[in-house]
Chains A and B, each alone.
Chain A
Amino acid sequence: MAAMMKAFPQRLVDLMFLRAVSTSSMGTLPKRVKIVEVGPRDGLQNEKNIVPTPVKIKLIDMLSETGLSVIEATSFVSPKWVPQMADHTEVLKGIQKFPGINYPVLVPNLKGFEAAYVSCVLGCPYEGKISPAKVAEVAKKLYSMGCYEISLGDTIGVGTPGTMKDMLSTVMQEVPLAALAVHCHDTYGQALANTLMALQMGVSVVDSSVAGLGGCPYAQGALGNLATEDLVYMLEGLGIHTGVNLQKLLEAGNFICQALNRKTGSKVAQATCKL
C-alpha cells in the first residue's frame, strides 16, 4: 500500500466544519463538506493526452472561480515517470493564487505537517482484498507523524458501501473523523454511493475531479475519479454546504474536455449539455 504526501504552501486547518457522528446506518450528515478538487493533478496525470501548460493554468484558474477551497495543482515528481506533470514549476508560477484557496502539490517522501494519501484502502490490483486493520495501521502511522488529513483512496474503485463502512469504522478508532477524507474512484460506478456512506459516517472531506478526469490505469477504458459536478449535485440536493457554484464548475469541465478532446465523465454535465 502506498502513501503519498501533499505539501501545502500554507497550513490551513479549518476548524469551522460542523460535524455529527452517525449513530445508525442512515447517520447524521455533516452540514458542510470540503471538496478537494484533484482534477488538475490526479485527473490530468491519468489522461492519455499531454496537456499544454497554458491549458492547465486556465483550468486551475477557472476552478479557482467556482468556490472550491482546495485545488490540487500539480505534482513534484520526476518527469521521467510522470511526463504530464513535468511543467509543475511553470504551472505553480502561472496560476492565479486566490486568497482563501489552497493549491496543494503532491510530493513524495516529505515529512512534516502535511496531508497524506493512502491508496488501495478497499482493494488492491496486486493483492486483492485489503483488511481494514491494515488501512487503520497505515493511517494511524501517518497521523501520528503529523499529517493533518488522511485521504483514504479506493484506488481501483472496487469498494461498495459495505466495505467503505467496515474500513471507516476501523480507521475511525485510530484517527479522528475530522482528519479523514475519502477519495473514491468510479471504475464500477460505486463512487457516489460509497461517498454517501462515508458522509453518513461523519466524514466531511471528499476528493473528486472535475469532469471525472483521469482514467483508472489498471483497467483500460474504465472510469477513474468521481466527477466533482455529480458530487456537488448530490451535496446540494442534500442541503449540505459546499461553497461551490455548479454552473462555473460545469464551465471549467466543459473547457478541459474540449481541450482534451474527450467526453465528460460527469453525468450532470452530460445532462445539462445543450449540444
Chain B
Amino acid sequence: MGNVPSAVKHCLSYQQLLREHLWIGDSVAGALDPAQETSQSSGLPEFVKIVEVGPRDGLQNEKVIVPTDIKIEFINRLSQTGLSVIEVTSFVSSRWVPQVAAGATEISVFGAASESFSKKNINCSIEESMGKFEEVVKSARHMNIPVRGYVSCALGCPYEGSITPQKVTEVSKRLYGMGCYEISLGDTIGVGTPGSMKRMLESVMKEIPPGALAVHCHDTYGQALANILTALQMGINVVDSAVSGLGGCPYAKGASGNVATEDLIYMLNGLGLNTGVNLHKVMEAGDFICKAVNKTTNSKVAQASFNA
C-alpha cells in the first residue's frame, strides 16, 4: 500500500462521512448548528444564483466534438439539479433571428475590456462592437427577450496584459445602459487575484448596481474560488461556473479553464448560502459528460468523491 497508513481502513466510509456529517448534499442553510454564523451576519448574500455555462462555454473549448444527443442528455440532466440558468448553446453569426425561431428565450452578447482582444476575438473594435450590440439589444427588447452582457478580459488580457478597472467599468456601463439585464465580468485568462478582483468591482459598482453583476472566473492559475469569495464579500450574488470545470483555456496550452460548478457549490454550501442546487445531481451530470467526452473531471469535489 506504499505510504498510506493502515488506520485509514477503519475510518468512516468517505461517502457516509460526507453525507451524514458534512454538507456535501443540499445547502444546509437553516440546518446549521445554531452556534455557527449565518450568511447574513458574515456580510455575504443570502442566495447565490449559479449560471451553468458547461454546455456552451465548457463544451466549446473542449477538443472532442460532442454528438448532439449527448449534449441534449447532458442538459436534461443539469435541468434536474435545481440550476435555474443553463447556458445551452451559441449562435455566433451576427444574424441571430433564427435562434429565436429555434426557441431561445434569452440571448447574450460578448464585449471585451481590451481593444486587442475585441479585434482578435470578434473582428471589430470595442466601439464597433457596441454599435452592433445596440441593434441586437434593441430588437431583443422589442420581442421581450432578455439580454445578458459579457465583458471579457475584466482582470487581464492575453494580448495587452493588465486592464484598468476604469476600462471594464466603461464597457460594462455601455452594455448595461443599452438594456442588458445582467453584466457578467469575465476573468478570461484566469490571471486575476482577490486584490485585482476587488479593485475592478469597486470601480464597476460605482456605476452598476451589484444586483446586475455576475462574475465569471477562470481557474487557470487556481485563483477562481478565492476570487469568487472576494466578489461574494463585496455583495455580488451571481456566479458563472461549468460542471466538471469543462473547457480548457485556449490561451494557455494544458491549462484549466472554467471553475467547476461542483467545487463552487461545495464552497457555497459550506458557507450556508442558498443556491437551490443539489450537489449530488450536479456531480452525476458531471460524471456523465466526462465519460462521454472521455476526459477526467477538473472538479476536485468529484475527484475526491468518486475515487473514494
Contact = CB atoms under 8 A, between A and B. Distances in A.
B52 interface: no
Contacts of A157: 304
B188 interface: no
A270 B254 contact: yes
Contacts of A267: 219-222, 255-256
A108 B4 CA distance: 18
Contact of B271 (A50, A162, A188, A219): A162
Nearest to B16: A128
A123 interface: yes
Given A162-B271, A189-B266, A271 B249 contact: yes
A127 B20 CA distance: 11
A4 to B, nearest CB: 13
Contacts of A189: 225, 260, 263, 266-267, 299-301
B22 A128 contact: yes
A196 B308 contact: no
Given A48-B2, A128-B20, A159-B270, A190 B11 contact: no
B36 interface: yes
B12 A273 contact: no
Interface stretch (A57-65, A79-87, A91-99, A142-150): A79-87
B3 interface: yes
B253 to A, nearest CB: 8
Interface in A47-84: 47-50, 81-84
Nearest to A46: B3
A188 B304 contact: yes
A187 B267 CA distance: 12
B229 A230 contact: no
Contacts of B271: 160-162
Contacts of B256: 267, 270-271
Nearest to A133: B35
Nearest to A126: B11
B: contact size bracket: 35 or more
A46 B1 CA distance: 11
B307 A162 contact: no
Contact of A25 (B11, B193, B233): B233
Contacts of A227: 222
Interface in B176-216: 190, 192-196, 198
Nearest to A162: B271
A222 B194 contact: no
A84 to B, nearest CB: 5
Interface in A254-275: 266-268, 270-275
Interface string B1-27: 011110010111010011011100000
Interface stretch (B37-45, B87-95, B132-140, B166-174): B37-45
Given A196-B226, A230-B222, A234-B193, A129 B22 contact: yes
B149 interface: no
B307 A271 contact: no
Nearest to B41: A25
Contact of B5 (A123, A165, A195, A217): A217
A187 B219 CA distance: 16
A237 B223 contact: yes
Contacts of B300: 186-189, 222-223
Contact of B223 (A125, A160, A217, A230): A230
Contacts of B260: 189
B162 to A, nearest CB: 11
Contacts of B111: none
B64 interface: no
Contact of B225 (A163, A166, A190): A190
Interface string A155-174: 00111111101100000000
Interface in B49-80: none
A15 interface: no
13 contacts: A125-B14, A128-B20, A157-B304, A161-B267, A189-B300, A193-B229, A196-B194, A219-B308, A233-B193, A238-B193, A267-B222, A270-B254, A274-B253
Given A193-B229, A271-B249, 12 more contacts: A48-B2, A49-B2, A50-B3, A123-B22, A165-B37, A189-B267, A192-B225, A196-B226, A196-B229, A219-B305, A223-B304, A272-B252
Interface of B: 2-5, 8, 10-12, 14, 17-18, 20-22, 33, 36-37, 42-44, 190, 192-196, 198, 219-223, 225-226, 228-230, 233-234, 249, 252-256, 260, 263, 266-267, 269-272, 299-301, 303-308
Interface of A: 24-26, 45-50, 81-84, 123, 125-129, 157-163, 165-166, 186-190, 192-193, 195-197, 216-223, 227, 230, 233-234, 236-239, 266-268, 270-275
